[in-house]
Amino acid sequence: MIKFLLYILISSLFVLDWLYLELNIGIRQVTWLPEFISIIIAVTIPLKTAVSKTTQIPIKYIIFLTIYLLHLIIGFLFNDVSGWTILAGLRIYIKFIPIFLLPFIFPLSEDEFKKIVVFVFILAMMQFPVVLLQRFVFFASSLSGDPMGGTVGHSASGVLSIFLLITISFIIAFYFKERISLPFFLITLGAAFIPTMLNETKITFILLPVAFIFPALFIKAQRKNIFRAILVITIFAVSFVIFKGVYDYFQKKRWGYGIETFILMPGRLDKYSAARIDPIKYSFINAVKDPRFIVFGRGAGNVSEGFTKKLSGKYVQLGKYYGLGGVSFPKFIWEIGIVGTMIFFFLILFIFRDAMRLSKQIGFDGAFALGMLSFCVFFALSMFYTFTMDSNLFVFLFFFFSGYVAKQRNVQMIEAESTEFLEDKESLDDKMILA
């Protein structure tokens, strides 16, 4: 049942928004399916724990999640948040917890998890033909790359580009760990990279080096790995040049100039500053005026605009004024405070550390953990660029994968402690025999 729900959940992340927002199929409430599945999982977790009477959740995650939840609750009380707004806030800020805990409570074998990863990979590869159709057929007359969002949704080109760059990081990680062949590596790399060129997302210029080079920082300096790293860096250099050429081609058709002129032209970067840098700047400026704001913010959901007036918070107009709808990081500060934001980012840091240690293993888990290192970086950086916490694609995939990595790291530690205990026991037995 749980595995079936997982496949439904993952499918919905790639299809429902696209069907509703782009093809006008279905109703808005259908796009809430991932949250409904998260609620079902949340209900089954304590039931399963009560039956098994055991849990494999590491104590550090229990402590951090408890602190995080208490912080949200106190923020609600201090800010006198209404009941409906609390529901909207919880939908945003805790929907990831059940999916993160799932691998601990309902353990998946390596083969079962592999099948899920392959399923996600197939969905990622599907973006290539869809974006080709969007670029050259459905939106051939469009001078903007915004409609080229694949199946992620209309005007979701930025989200799609970040997701495909994450996919590229995993492909490179599996290549470094010798889990895929060179031909498969090159073909899938191209299929993931081409859509990021066709939708002309500017953030790709910044994140492309992370996708290609970051995994190489965590591999052993062996001859075969050095060759692979040189090959990947070479491909990156070529890809960057090609990306810039394609980007400039479409931009010159639209504006008459390329990326260099765009950056250097007075005033052209102002709108990007206003959309992303200014909300972050003003969130800190407003936070330091009120100690309660620094710690708890205005309450989870209290700055967000809901689907109805009841679900919207008291400070929606302030949120609109400061442009908080498009970027998650400043909204975090406004709704859960600087302290709450730090707690959340510490959770990402703990996941990163577990992935780094697990990445030293050989086999599938080591390769997957190496890819997760980049995913952690992309997830954290995307908070400063786009509406990450409102994007179910990012939130559910990241925390489900993180739960698996954290669980496997915990298994690795238990096995290491068991081995160390047996070695110590054997050493003691040998001493007793000699005595």
Average pLDDT for residues 195-200, to the nearest whole number?
85
Instruction: Give pLDDT, residue 265.
Output: 67
Q: Do 128 and 195 meet the contact criterion of CB atoms below 8 Å apart? A: yes
Contact 95, 38 (CB under 8 A): yes
Q: How many CB atoms lie within 10 A of CB 17?
A: 23
CA 261 from chain center: how many Å?
32
State how far the Cα of 10 lies from the Cα of 401, in Å rounded to an integer: 12
Band (427; pLDDT cuts 50, 70, 90): low
SS3 145: coil
Is residue 285 within 8 Å of 293, Cβ to Cβ? no
Q: What percent of the chain has pLDDT over 70?
A: 90
* pLDDT of 433 above 60: no
Tens of pLDDT, residue by residue over 248-300, are: 887 777 766 677 766 666 666 666 666 778 888 888 888 778 888 889 999 99
What is the band of 339 on the pLDDT scale with cuts at 50, 70, 90? very high
Identify the pLDDT of residue 267.
63
pLDDT of residue 418: 65
pLDDT of 431 strictly over 60: no
**Does the pLDDT value for residue 428 go beyond 50?**
no
